[in-house]
Structure 1
Amino acid sequence: MATLKGKTLFITGASRGIGKEIALRAARDGANVAIIAKTDEPHPKLPGTIHSAAAEIEEAGGKALPLKTDIREEDQIAEAVAKTVETFGGIDILINNASAINLTPTLQTPMKRFDLMHQVNTRATFACAQACLPHLLKSDNPHILTMSPPPNLSPQWFANHTAYTISKYGMSLVTLGLAAEFADEGVAVNSLWPVTVIETAALNMIPGLEQGRARTPQILADAAHAILTAPSRDVTGGFFTDESVLEAIGITDFEPYNLTPGKAPYPDFFLELDRNGKNDPQVARLLTKLGSFHKAA
């Protein structure tokens, strides 16, 4: 069975939500996890700290390294990378999960919010990859996985929140570029995006949603695990959805991931009718490889 036992993951935004769930899934395999986030003391509105996440990871069977880090600052990223390598001996996997969201139209978007989204989303995705790559290149199965959508230039995804959309697509363009740049070196670089909205703190930023119509972060954690355990030279350059990955490995019942049984979750942003990307030949080819690997494993 494919496992992350002994692998070292560097996960941004790992103190809560999707990042923490990915960390816990890896911890159950016996992985090492560097928890990269700013929250080292309880937040008045948001659950979890790097320390509470570390305790959960250790309890799940992994080894945790909580590192208070502002990923807008490259010197702090460099320090976190150095501490991770010193503690665990290297880095095998980078998860670019941290993200800033502000769903406002242009005239209601302060430039400080524009800057924040681009610093945390696009810039930090590039900066963390740049800092981790010298160590990833030494790994026997290196992966970079970024929580960003398939590039989609349909105007509907820009009209109501241009600034946010640009910042998220910037993350995806980093995936596109790095996958091509490091293909010969065997570093897998992929993006993963949910087909439906996920129960996280960011969900509260989307107005008008009925409570409970979402999925749990576990669906992304399970999909991420399937990608991260696959051979890095075979599965790279993909813009995957959670459903497409799970279907490829034989999971077709998504009801257990629903936050409220029997309530259909809302669809997420940036996806068209072909929500699983199967009309994209590149994605379809990678999903076939992913499925074949896991069926053999």
Structure 2
Amino acid sequence: MLFENKTVIITGASRGIGKSIALKLAKEGANIVIAAKSVEEDPRLGGTIYQTANEVEANGGKALAVQCDIRNDDQIANLVQKTAERFGGIDVLINNASAINLSTAEKLEPKRFDLMYDINVRGTMLLSAACIPYLKKGSNAHIINLSPPIRDMKKWLKSHVAYTISKYNMTMIALGLSEELKPYKIAANSLWPKTTIATAAVNNLLGGEALMKMSRTPEIIADCIHYILQQPSETFTGQTLIDEDVLALAGITDLSHYAHVPGNTNFYPDIFV
């Protein structure tokens, strides 16, 4: 199996994109560390770290469920320590956990700004830093941040400046780490979908059922991660990737099976693309 004995930390893995990545890599024999806050199921969101862990084991992987709020320094340290104790190291970090609020600057509450900054920027940065000593000893080590390419800046800054700067910061972290960690052959890239992905955030916060019908399944991101992690970390680094482009590199051009509603061909473009 491609990722047998490879240890992968995935934040926000109790549901949605993070869970899909976990199950995809589990089928290839990976050790999956499910890092998220959810230990009791919220009916509006669905999923807990323990449910994902059970499915990872059923899919052939080894699972470790760790409750972790990446805003908390002690919980980050605990996550990394427990991962190292259980599996002996870390080969991959997927920074998937994120908070979203599309309010304008005038209408954004300070606590909502703090939430996005603390999760998207601070949490991504500090967890990445905590993993570096283990990634240096890892095999074909990768960091992947789920964040967008930095382009059309004025358009996206105008629309929702606080969310935009938080997501752009995640991408800048990936680009910065790609340069810092080149001597250690650790790759760092960002990945973003071209169309909306059918997740709880889309259903509950953004467009509801109408937008869900125009979305793709989280499996499209999982398949991209599957391809990226096969690439040599020494050279496949410092990129701001879009899912369709990654799949094209993998030779996958028929994307019809990723439609959330089978047969749909009318997809809604994600922001930042």
TM range (shorter): over 0.9
Distance across 2 between alignment mates of 1:143 and 1:39: 25
Identify the residue that residue 225 of structure 1 maps to in structure 2: 226
Distance 1:108 1:141, change over 3 A: same
Q: CA deviation at 1:206?
A: 1.8
- Spell out, residue by residue over 1:19-44, the C-alpha distance to the aligned partner (whole angstroms, 9 max, x if none): 01001011001110111000011113
- Spell out, residue by residue over 1:220-268, the C-alpha distance to the aligned partner (whole angstroms, 9 max, x if none): 0000110012111020001111110110111001111011133221011
**Equivalent residue letter for 2:172:** L
**Equivalent residue letter for 1:58:** E
Equivalent residues of 2:6, 2:139 under 8 A apart: no
- Residue aligned with 1:106, SS: coil
Distance across 2 between alignment mates of 1:124 and 1:141: 23
Identify the residue that residue 278 of structure 1 maps to in structure 2: none
Identify the residue that residue 275 of structure 1 maps to in structure 2: none
Distance across 2 between alignment mates of 1:248 and 1:34: 28
Identify the residue that residue 270 of structure 1 maps to in structure 2: 272
Distance across 1 between alignment mates of 2:153 and 2:170: 17
Q: CA deviation at 1:207?
A: 3.8
Distance across 1 between alignment mates of 2:140 and 2:257: 31
**Equivalent residue letter for 2:246:** V
Identify the residue that residue 277 of structure 1 maps to in structure 2: none
Distance across 1 between alignment mates of 2:169 and 2:212: 30
Aligned residues with identical type, % of pairs = 51
Identify the residue that residue 250 of structure 2 maps to in structure 1: 249
Q: CA deviation at 1:66?
A: 0.4
Identify the residue that residue 125 of structure 2 maps to in structure 1: 126
Distance 1:105 1:44, change over 3 A: same
- Spell out, residue by residue over 1:112-142, the C-alpha distance to the aligned partner (whole angstroms, 9 max, x if none): 0000001100111101110000000001211
Aligned Cα root-mean-square deviation (Å): 1.2
Q: Tell whether 2:138 aligns with 1:139.
A: yes
Q: CA deviation at 1:171?
A: 0.2
Q: CA deviation at 1:154?
A: 2.8
Alignment of 1:22-37 (within 5 A): 22-37=21-36
Give the TM-score of the pair, scaled to structure 1: 0.89
Identify the residue that residue 206 of structure 1 maps to in structure 2: 206
Identify the residue that residue 292 of structure 1 maps to in structure 2: none
Identify the residue that residue 158 of structure 2 maps to in structure 1: 159
Q: Is 203-212 or 51-60 further displaced after alignment? A: 203-212
Gap regions ≥5 residues in structure 2: none
Distance 1:90 1:180, change over 3 A: same
Q: CA deviation at 1:45?
A: 1.6
Q: CA deviation at 1:153?
A: 4.4
Q: CA deviation at 1:202?
A: 1.5
Identify the residue that residue 187 of structure 1 maps to in structure 2: 186
- Residue aligned with 2:8, SS: strand
- Residue aligned with 1:189, SS: strand
- Residue aligned with 2:56, SS: helix
Identify the residue that residue 290 of structure 1 maps to in structure 2: none
Identify the residue that residue 260 of structure 2 maps to in structure 1: 259
Give the TM-score of the pair, scaled to structure 2: 0.96
